[in-house]
Structure 1
Amino acid sequence: MALKVLSALDTAKTQYYHFKAIIIAGMGLFTDAYDLFCIPPIMILIQRIYYEPGDGNKSNKKPEIPRTVASTMFGIALLGTVIGQLVFGRLGDRVGRRRVYGFALTLMVLSSIGCGFSICTTKKCVLGSLGFFRFLLGVGIGGDYPLSATIMSEFANKMTRGAFIAAVFSMQGFGILASSMVTMTVCKIFERATNTTSPDQTPPGTDIAWRLILMMASIPAALTFYWRMMMPETPRYTALVEQNVLQAAKDMEKVLGVSMSQITEEFPLSPKPPPYNLLSKKFILHHGRDLFACSCTWFLLDVVFYSSNLFQSKIYHNYVDVDHANTMNVFEEAFRVARLQAIIAICSTVPGYFVTVYFIDRIGRVKIQLLGFFCMAIVYLAIGIPYIHYWDKKTNFGFMFLYGLTFFFANFGPNTTTFIVPAELFPARFRSTCHGISGAIGKVGAIIGSVGFLWVLEEDKETGDPKAIGMTIALILLGGVCFLGMAVTYFFTRETMGRSLEENEKEDQDAREIGSFQML
């Protein structure tokens, strides 16, 4: 029989506290997206300061960052995220969600500021310092992933839980927009202040501009620190892990606005030792298949999602440089990259998040994940198969439309559901840990997608862009990865819609062993 305080949470009406929790929990995801999407325009500013023409092994007259440096700046944050998800995910189950939550946010704020204050003025010193602080930033962001999802799932009611967790994840979309808007604003301010029009001249404020853009990420996260510290520990952790049901009832009396008599047990419950440990034989028997499904689908999704960098350079080349390839100053070039990112976010990324929020508790996680993988596969094949004969010559509106669809169906699909499902399937004492394991394996896929694939492709010696045949093969392979994600989802992922967290973790073992999973 379920505890009264947990039953009250499952049936609670949507109220102001839920929306407040969405904003507070979502700031980590906001910061994640901000720091990820501000890097392309920042690299444009940095390459103008610290690199000479030909450094990137291209024959053009503009300074260019070598692939090794660009890949490192992107991949080192993802490596930190892997570590953060594993370490903070486990600490969230051992120490408590609330305590670890505050430390992860503090690390994000301080490392964002540290990125802007990257020491020294020499190229190696600045980039080394920037890489170090981006690694720490990744650790903080990684820690925020499992904690944000777990906290929101444990506060939400069972009928709208998916929408609440999806709303937390949708803060990534606002982070992308904020990154683009801040970058565009800073670039225009510095461009007018320096009055620079020559493409060969590096404006004196360039070194300050990229640092300012990076440090701005710390502001929204810092503003939510007080409210994050004032949040009570989640009732499920207090009642089920710490086994202090009375304290859980006291905490929820303020949150739910109900009297203690309604949520307090009539007879005190004696503490019970946990029946099995993490990754024990019994854990593998009960939850191994769920952990495999969550980890594998997240891995496959991130391989595809982060591989968008393969053809972003093509889009930037045609839509950012083509009009004034030899007349744009560095601020105008960075401005156009940020503007393109904002357009893609407004037209495809953010709508994908909100469509998921609307449908997630109506049609279910599994169906949305299957639909997303399927549509992404079709779009990648539509781009990849004719690429060498059609798209490679000119990136036109059709290419942009299909490119935007990949982001829409990623977010109205596995990019959101892989964040939600691990927070709903596992027992309270393993929930944060298992979410962290799933996310860490996913970010290994992100490293493979964003760094590994770039090194596999052969570049054109004149332009530095991937050759058409390599792009064609890579895009078709990404479509194949999406089909594999569909297969894993169909055969291994269980539906969690409309059920309490305790019901999800007590799925009948015999039904699991014969593969009879609830799909509706």
Structure 2
Amino acid sequence: MAPQDSAVSSESHLGPQQDHHHHLRSIPGEIPIPHGPPGDHDDDDYPVRDASADERRIFGHVTRPDDSYTPDGIYWADLPWSRRVGFVSKVDRESAAQELKTIGSMMKEDPLSPLSWYFRHAVIPGAGLGLEGYVLFSIGNLEPLFAQVWPECWDKNVTCSQNWIASVTYLEIIGIMVGQVFVGIIGDWIGRRWGLIQDAIIMFFGLLMLTASWGLTMEGWVICYAWSLFFYMLTIAFIGLGVGGEYPITATSSLESAVTAGKLSTREDRLHRGRRVTTAFLMQGWGQFVNQVLLIVLLVIFNSGSGSPPYSASAAQFAFRLSFAFPAIGTAWLVYYRTWKMPHASKQLAQAKSKSHVTGYDVTALRYCFTHFGGRLTATAGTWFCNDVFFYGNKLFQGQFIKVISNNPKSLMTTWTWNLVNITVSLAGYYLASLLIDNKLYGRKMMQQIGFFMCFLMFVIPAFKYEYFTSPAGIHAFQAMYFLSSFFNQFGPNSVTFLVAGEVYPTPVRATAHGFSACLGKAGALLASVLYAYIDNQTKFYVVPWFGLVGMLLTWLFLPVTTGLDLKEQERRWSYIRQGKAHEYHGVAVNPAHLSLWERMRGVGKTYDPELDWKTKIEDMRADWEAVQAARGPKETEGDAAEGHGMPDDGEFSQEIHNYFQRSSPKNIRSGGVLSEKIPENESAASK
């Protein structure tokens, strides 16, 4: 559980790629390095300088980290399946052993330290989603309570307009949708930090409004309640739009948290990036759990110590108002934490904009995103849409089996207790997803496909034998399918869509693309809530399963495989795309194993060449180093050299690399030599 940011092994991992040999011209006795694309002059006139053992030692841990490359320099995704299983399993075992050792060391110093680590790295990053999940689930839980206490309004629609009762759900979903899009844009335009802060502020005031909602008439209260909910989900206040944006802003900040610490390209990011994001996302499940427990306790306390009907109006008032007041306290703390304790949340975005010389919203990046990643948008938005039809469709099971299995199906305690069991099953799915989402032999794409397929089965089976499964004879099988659909929804598309909707896009448009995908997802929820109001229960089971097959097909065709892919490489590929040189990028981000079927059909993976990439990666590192030197100035750079400064602040430039680039700068070429520099053939051996 405790990530290790220690330096990766400095052992040499450079070597010729067995499956990608190119003709190399090398000096006898030297180990050849792969050469890059030819320049304006004839390559035959300039032999390539070869990598010395010292150069291999200096750059080996950066260009060929041992958690992704074999000792002979082959990338894990290029290995035959039998060798891949052995290599991946070995890396995972070593990582797990190191984490267990670290946890043991932590517990020796402080037995509770693993809990405090989990709180800092999972609970706090996901606190916004936890609070949002709490409130969203509370809305659905409170409606049956209102219907029993005030049936003339919430059930029979005599004193209240049916449209206003329905608007509680519709305004909730629409508010989320608009908030997701606009906060995503704000996150890429103004910064992640502002998006995090304004979301927390809006949640806080929205909870105060929900707690205090009132009206002179019952319908007046419903209207006030609905608009308070809408404010919580969406509000326009100068440049802030509501809590629906918690999705894109939490996802992007969790993905980039390693960057904020200056350690994007660490072993921890490659091995456990998915776990870091999904452990924040699963706080949504804990928010639902806490809400259900709190509502049960409050109703029992204020309904004369009994959870059985009838329920008094005062008990309903206390239960619903306190259920919103308690999370308001936690949200106030969240405002404080995000304002004063997260000063570097926008660091990676600022660096990306600086490299592209962009100060506002990167419109060019957005255009390139549609041009180069249109298939990925189809995958992330389309699969999220299909998933939310299932996510809300899961409620179809509950009412049916409760009617058969319970002696008192009208009791809210019965409904809420089964809700609590279902949430617990969902949490098991969340945690198992976090455990396996980074496994290179299973990973994101496989997890999502299997999850969609299992949800399809759990809905299509009762569709064609509905009478049997809703009868006492088949009700236990029906109940099992209900829980399995909850489990595989979390251990599948619900967790994966949240992660990949930000992971497969570059930094300048990551929040925008995630917000757009989440918005389309909530359109699926809106479709479900409207559609289910007009069709009977068995018809619902005929309709819903096919969204699982569609989601599975979209995943297979359009979703790339990002498991085990270093985000640094995605950013590096993006820099080539941004410069109009996409065809000159040869790294692992275009490895066919990391691309979708759609991208491979379009020929994106044809530029993959690990030998050419080795050289260009060093040149890219040199360019970054030189840019920093130029920005710092000669005197400042000279003064910092002895202290190990003057390198790009991304955690991968050691003092040795800094010294190497300093020795091999243009003014020192003759004395120190430059890696991969081309030397005229008429130079003396000594100068070589």
**Alpha carbons of structure 1 residues 237 and 196: separation in structure 2 relative to 1, 3 Å:** closer
Distance 1:240 1:27, change over 3 A: same
| Cα displacement (A) at 1:446 | 0.9
Choose 152-161 or 81-90, whichever is displaced more: 152-161
In structure 1, the partner of 2:213 is 118
Q: Distance in 1 between matches of 2:245 and 2:163?
A: 27
Per-residue deviation at 1:493? 0.2
Q: Distance in 2 between matches of 1:40 and 1:415?
A: 19
Partner of 1:46: 146
Per the alignment, residue 289 of structure 1 pairs with: 375
Given the alignment of the two structures, is residue 476 of structure 1 paired with residue 519 of structure 2, yes or no? no
Q: 1-side partners of 2:397 and 2:531: how far apart?
A: 11
**Count of residue pairs the alignment pairs up:** 456
Separation in 2, partners of 1:491, 1:112: 42
Letter in 1 for 2:251: A
The answer as to 2:297 corresponding to 1:185 is yes
Q: Could you say which residue in structure 2 is the equivalent of 1:411?
A: 490
Is 1:175–2:287 an aligned residue pair?
yes
3-state DSSP of counterpart to 1:204: helix
Q: 2:405, 2:472 within 8 Å by CA — same for their partners in 1?
A: no
Letter in 2 for 1:149: A
Residues 62-461 of structure 1 aligned to structure 2 (within 5 Å): 68=163, 71-139=166-234, 140-156=242-258, 157-192=269-304, 199=310, 202-229=312-339, 230-231=341-342, 232-243=344-355, 271=357, 277-280=364-367, 282-318=368-404, 322-323=407-408, 333-346=411-424, 348-362=425-439, 363-391=442-470, 396-449=475-528, 451-457=529-535
Secondary structure, aligned partner of 1:361: coil
Q: Indicate conservation of the 8 Å contact 2:189/2:362, yes or no.
A: no
- The higher relative CO (CA closer than 8 Å, separation ≥ 6) is in 1
Q: Which runs of 5+ in 2 are unaligned?
A: 1-58, 68-94, 103-115, 235-241, 259-268, 574-588, 606-688
SS in 2 for 1:344: helix
**1:370, 1:313 → 2: CA distance?**
28
Residues 19-28 or 169-178, more deviating: 19-28
**Which deviations, in whole Å up to 9, do the C-alpha atoms of 1:113-160 show, x marking residues without a partner?**
211211224211111111111112223331111010000101142221
Counterparts in 2 of 1:493 and 1:49: CA distance versus 1, 3 Å: same
Give the AA of the match of 2:383: T
Letter in structure 2 aligned against 1:294: T
More displaced 10-residue stretch of structure 1: 206-215 or 124-133: 206-215
1:30 and 2:130 correspond: yes
* 1:308 aligned partner, one-letter code: N
The answer to whether the Cα contact below 8 Å between 1:387 and 1:471 also exists between their aligned partners in 2 is no
- Counterpart Cα distance in 1 of 2:461 and 2:604: 33
- Report the alpha carbon displacement of residue 477 of structure 1 after superposing the two structures with TM: 2.2
The 2-side partners of 1:394 and 1:81 are apart by: 41
Check the 8 A contact 1:46/1:207 in 2, yes or no.
Answer: no
Name structure 1 gaps, 5 residues minimum. 58-62, 244-269, 326-332, 458-469
CA contact (8 A) 2:303 2:312 kept: no
CA RMSD of aligned residues (A): 3.3
| Partner Cα separation in structure 1 for residue 219 and residue 280 of structure 2 | 38
Assess, with a 3 A threshold, how the Cα gap between structure 1 residues 400 and 501 changes in structure 2: closer, same or farther.
Answer: same
Alpha-carbon separation, structure 2, partners of 1:305 and 1:217: 24
Contact 2:277 2:499 in 1 (8 A): yes
| Percent identical | 25
Matched, 1:487 2:572: no
Pairwise CA distance, 1:19: 5.5
**TM-score (ref. length: structure 1):** 0.79
Q: Within 1, Cα distance between the matches of 2:183 and 2:508?
A: 14
Output the amino acid matched with 2:330: P
Pick which of 427-436 and 108-117 moved more.
Answer: 108-117
